[in-house]
């Protein structure tokens, strides 16, 4: 949970975990968070890490679904 607090400062981590409990038993959580943040930051028009953080916090399933979009070049692909 420390990893989540670091990735989403000031956010209610328990809410995130209620929406995506799978996060609790993910072995590669730290690298997964970095990878997904980087990927979405590259794809999002704003390129703003704060915007990406909000998107992932609101949609924590992206921590797993973005694995399917590793080769995406646009946010709508």
- Smallest Cα–Cα separation from 6: which of 47, 46, 37? 37
Torsion-angle region of residue 47: left (phi > 0), alpha (psi -120 to 50) or beta? left
Residue predicted with more confidence, 70 or 12 = 12
Residue pLDDT, tens place only, 56-77 = 999 999 999 999 888 887 765 4
C-alpha span between 26 and 36 (Å, rounded): 14
C-alpha span between 61 and 19 (Å, rounded): 8
Residue pLDDT, tens place only, 21-63 = 999 999 999 999 999 999 999 999 899 999 999 999 999 999 9
- 69 touches 77 (CB < 8 A): yes
Q: How many helices (H) and strands (E) does the chain have?
A: 5, 0
Note the pTM of the prediction, 2 decimals: 0.87
What is the per-residue pLDDT for 37? Answer: 96
**Does residue 36 sit in helix, strand or coil?**
helix
């Amino acid at each position: 949970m420390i990893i989540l607090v670091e990735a989403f400062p000031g956010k209610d981590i328990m809410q995130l975990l209620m929406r995506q409990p799978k996060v609790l038993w993910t072995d590669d959580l730290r690298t997964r968070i970095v990878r997904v943040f980087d990927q979405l930051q590259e794809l999002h028009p704003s390129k703003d890490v704060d915007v990406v953080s909000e998107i992932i916090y609101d949609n924590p399933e992206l921590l797993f679904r973005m694995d399917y979009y590793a080769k995406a070049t646009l946010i709508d692909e």
